[in-house]
Structure 1
Amino acid sequence: MNSILTSEQLLIVRNRNAGRRLELLKEALAADGIIPYLGPGLLRLSSAEPTIPHTPEAVAAALNRRALAPSRIRTNMWSVAQFIEQRRHRRTLQTWMAEIFAAPAAPTALHTWLATLPLSVIIDSWYDGTMRAALVETGRTDVVEIQGVPRANEIGDIWTKAYDLSGREVELGSTAKTVLYTPHGSVRPAANFLVSDSDYVEVLTEIDIQTPIPEVVKDRRTSRGLFFLGCRFNDQMLRIYARQIMKRSSGPRFAVLDAAALTNNERRFLAASAITLIDMPTGEAAARLVG
Structure 2
Amino acid sequence: MNDPITEVRSALAAGRVIPYIGPGVLAAAGADLPSNLPTLAEILSSRVSVPHKIRKNFTAVAQYIENFKHRKSLKAVLNDLFSVATPVPELMKTLAGMDLPMIVNLWYDNTLAQALKDQASWGRIQGFSQSEHYGQWYGFYQPDGTATDAATAESWTTVLYEPWGSIVPDQNYLASDADFVEVLTEIDIQTPIPQIVQDRRKDRGFLFLGCRFDDQLQRTFARQIMKRSSNRHWAVIEGELTKKEARFLEEQGIERLDISLAEVLNGALTDEAVPA
User: TM-score scaled by structure 2?
Assistant: 0.93
Would you say the 8 A contact 2:91–2:264 is kept in 1? no
Find out whether 1:87 has 2:68 as its counterpart. Answer: yes
CA distance in 2, matches of 1:45, 1:59: 16
Could you say what secondary structure the match of 2:192 adopts? coil
- The residue number in structure 1 matching 2:257 is 278
1:100-111 maps to which residues of 2 (within 5 A)? 100-111=81-92
CA RMSD of aligned residues (A): 1.3
- Which residue among 119, 130, 142 is the counterpart of 2:100? 119
Find out whether 1:43 has 2:14 as its counterpart. Answer: no
Could you say what secondary structure the match of 2:47 adopts? coil
Could you say what secondary structure the match of 1:151 adopts? coil
- The residue number in structure 1 matching 2:274 is none
- Which residue among 247, 268, 275 is the counterpart of 1:268? 247
* Structure 1 residue runs without a partner (length 5+): 1-16
CA distance in 2, matches of 1:278, 1:197: 32
- The residue number in structure 1 matching 2:150 is 172
CA distance in 2, matches of 1:35, 1:168: 25
CA distance in 2, matches of 1:57, 1:105: 21
- The residue number in structure 1 matching 2:167 is 187
Q: CA deviation at 1:208?
A: 0.2
Q: CA deviation at 1:52?
A: 1.4
Could you say what secondary structure the match of 2:33 adopts? coil
Q: CA deviation at 1:104?
A: 2.3
Q: CA deviation at 1:282?
A: 1.3
- The residue number in structure 2 matching 1:160 is 138
Deviations 1:52-81 (A, max 9, x none): 111111211221122121111111111100
Deviations 1:178-210 (A, max 9, x none): 100000001111111101100011100000000
Would you say the 8 A contact 2:18–2:102 is kept in 1? yes
Q: CA deviation at 1:23?
A: 2.4
Deviations 1:214-248 (A, max 9, x none): 00000111110111011011111010000000111
Identity %: 41
The structure 1 segments of at least 4 consecutive aligned residues displaced by more than 3 Å after TM superposition are none
Q: CA deviation at 1:166?
A: 1.1
CA distance in 1, matches of 2:6, 2:28: 20
Could you say what secondary structure the match of 1:59 adopts? helix
Which structure exhibits the higher relative contact order, with contacts defined as CA atoms closer than 8 Å and separated by 6 or more residues?
Answer: 1
The aligned amino acid for 2:259 is M
- Which residue among 17, 36, 45 is the counterpart of 1:34? 17
Find out whether 1:21 has 2:1 as its counterpart. Answer: no
- The residue number in structure 2 matching 1:67 is 48
CA distance in 2, matches of 1:44, 1:26: 23
CA distance in 1, matches of 2:230, 2:9: 18
CA distance in 2, matches of 1:210, 1:247: 9
CA distance in 2, matches of 1:275, 1:86: 38
CA distance in 2, matches of 1:285, 1:95: 33
The aligned amino acid for 1:282 is L
The number of equivalent residue pairs is 267
CA distance in 2, matches of 1:57, 1:124: 18
Could you say what secondary structure the match of 2:18 adopts? strand
Would you say the 8 A contact 1:30–1:118 is kept in 2? no
- The residue number in structure 2 matching 1:219 is 199
Q: CA deviation at 1:124?
A: 0.6
The aligned amino acid for 1:255 is A
CA distance in 2, matches of 1:106, 1:243: 30
- Which residue among 123, 140, 149 is the counterpart of 2:119? 140
